Amino acid sequence: MDSNKSKRVDVILPIYNASETLEHSIDSLLHQTHAELRIIAVNDGSTDNTAKLLNGYTDQRLVVFHRPHLGIAKSLNFGLSQSTSDYIARMDADDTCHPQRIEKQLDYLSLHQLKACATHVEYYNKDVVANQGFKNFVAWQNQFDNPKDIYLNRFVDTPFAHPSILFERELLTQYGAYQESGPEDYELWLRWMEAGVQIGMVAEPLLRWVDHTERATRTNPNYNTEHFSELKARYFLQWAKMAAVLQNKNIWICGTGNYVKKKLSPFIQKGMHITGYVDVKAKTVYQNKPVVQYHEVEQQQNAFYLLFVANPKGKQDIRNYFGKLNLVEGKDYYVMA
C-alpha cells in the first residue's frame, strides 16, 4: 500500500556475543523493501567480535550503542528510549527476516486497522540435533492467523515469536515498556491484550527464528516455568475479575497429577477456589477435591473449566467434546497449558 511507504520504522536489535550471526541479521534488515527504516543496535556488553563488526558498518540507517552487560530487557528498554519513529519492530541478532517483512507487516496493520502484528516464522536449529519441543512450539504458534486465536490462546504460552512483532509507538505511551524481570515479552503481550489491544498475525514465515542450546529461554532463570505460571495466574485472574466470568461459578480443573499441581500452584496462592477436577480416570478425590470423569461434565451446574492438559491431541479432543456440549472457549472454559 503506497500510503505506508513514508511510515518510519525503528527496529530494536539487542545483541550479546552474536558475532557469528550478526552480519546476516543486519544485512537482512538493510535489504528490506521498506526504505524508511532505522536499526537501533544495542550491544549489551559483548565480549566477542560484536563491537568490531558493528563499528565496521557505514550505512547511516544503522545506529549503534555500546553498553555494559545488563540483560535483554534493559537493552530493549534502552533501545526503545532511543526510538523516535511511529512504528517499532523487533529482531534478534541470530535471526534473519524476509526482504518484504516490514512492508508486509505495515500493509497488514493498515488493512486490518490494528496497532500490532507478528508473523509466522521459519524454524531453524543451528545445532546438530533439532529441539523437538521448541520445533513443536513454533508449529503451534504458526497455526494462528488472526487476533481472536491469539487472544484465546494467550494463557497457553506466548502465541507468537517476539522478534517478529511490529507495533505502533502509541502502545508504549499508553501501556509502558518491558518489565525488567521475568519473561519480559510474554508479560507485555498479556498486558496489552488485557487492555483490549488486538494483535494480528501475518500468516507467512517472514522471519527465520534460530534455535540453539544457549538461547535465553533455556539458560536464564527469568524464563523458568514458575515465572510463566505466575504471569498466567495474575493476568487470568485480573481478566476473570474484570469480565466477571467466574462470578457464582464452580471452577473445575481438567487434568490431575504433578504437572497440573505445579501449573496450578500460583492460581491457588492468589486465592482461586477450586470446586473439583475432571479426569479420564475414575477417582474419588484429588488434592482433597472431588474428581469427575469427562462424561460427567454435562451434569455440572454453573461451571467454568480450566484445561491444564499438555498433550496436543488430548487438548483438542477436550475442545471438540466441549464444543458438542455447546461450551464456548473464552466464556465457559480456557486452555491454560
Give residue limits of the domains in the chain.
2-223, 236-335
Write the pLDDT tens digit of every residue in 209-267. 998 766 666 566 667 889 999 999 999 999 999 999 998 999 999 999 999 999 999 99
Average pLDDT, the chain: 94
CATH of domain 2-223: 3.90.550.10
- Helices 184-194 and 225-243 pack at an angle, to 10 degrees, of 10
In this model, does residue 196 exceed pLDDT 70? Answer: yes
Q: Are 44 and 72 in contact (CB under 8 A)?
A: yes
Would you state the pLDDT for residue 220? 66
* Calpha distance 5→18 (Å, rounded): 31
| 3 state DSSP class of 304 | strand
Q: What's the Rg (C-alpha) of the chain?
A: 22
User: Pairing between strand 276-279 and 250-254?
Assistant: parallel
Which fold is adopted by the domain 236-335? Rossmann fold (3.40.50)
Q: Alpha helix (H) ranges present in 118-160?
A: 132-141, 147-152
Write the pLDDT tens digit of every residue in 107-148. 999 999 999 999 999 999 876 566 788 899 999 999 999 999
The whole model's pTM is what?
Answer: 0.94
